[in-house]
Amino acid sequence: MSAPTALEQAPPVQRRRVTQRRTLVAVLLVLSLAVAARMWLVAPVLVASDSMAPTLEEGSLALVLKPDPGAHRVSAGTTVVFPHPEDGSTTIKRVIATGGQTVELRDALLFVDGQEVPEPFVDHSRIDGTWFGPAVVPPGHVFLMGDNRGASVDSRHFGTIPAEELEATVLWPWR
């Protein structure tokens, strides 16, 4: 049998205080990590419009990864968060094309660099007759559109966005 530790030899009241202090330190550490993760890593974002329906419905929450996506290369198909160029509001759209690519909508069908892009998340019957472009995306910029093309104010209206202005990428929609 081993000798009792100093804590085991201490009176019950002192042992309780030590245990309470350890518990408090552990709780504070967990809360600090949660706050840090919320501030710098992941966060929920409320979807404020129906421009990304049916992928993200108005009023739903999206979990976003906050490290600056502009610092690494985003690719077409990635859903991103950025400040709207007109009012600075938090906006969510899909990256359609990146610097140097050509974007075009022909009767609601998306073409990038002359090739049709399959978009199973877009209801083409609701946007039949929509035409845009062709437009070339400047280097270092992205062309963004909502999945609900008929209700989306996007790069067709406000132009391309510098990639460094992207604030986060959507990890998971919550419905």
State both tokens at 172. Answer: 């998971």
Measured distance CA(43)–CA(33) in Å, rounded: 13
Measured distance CA(12)–CA(52) in Å, rounded: 60
Q: Residue written as tokens 């609900």?
A: 148
Clarify whether 60 is annotated catalytic.
Answer: no
Q: Residue written as tokens 């199973």?
A: 120
Cis peptide before 134 (omega within 30 of 0): yes
Q: What Rg, from alpha-carbon coordinates, does the chain have? A: 24
- Which of 49, 66, 93, 155 is catalytic? The answer is 93
- Which of 51, 60, 66, 75 is catalytic? The answer is 51
Measured distance CA(60)–CA(50) in Å, rounded: 10
Query: Are 162 and 140 a contacting pair, CB within 8 Å?
Result: yes
Clarify whether 66 is annotated catalytic.
Answer: no
**Which sequence positions are flagged as catalytic?**
51, 93
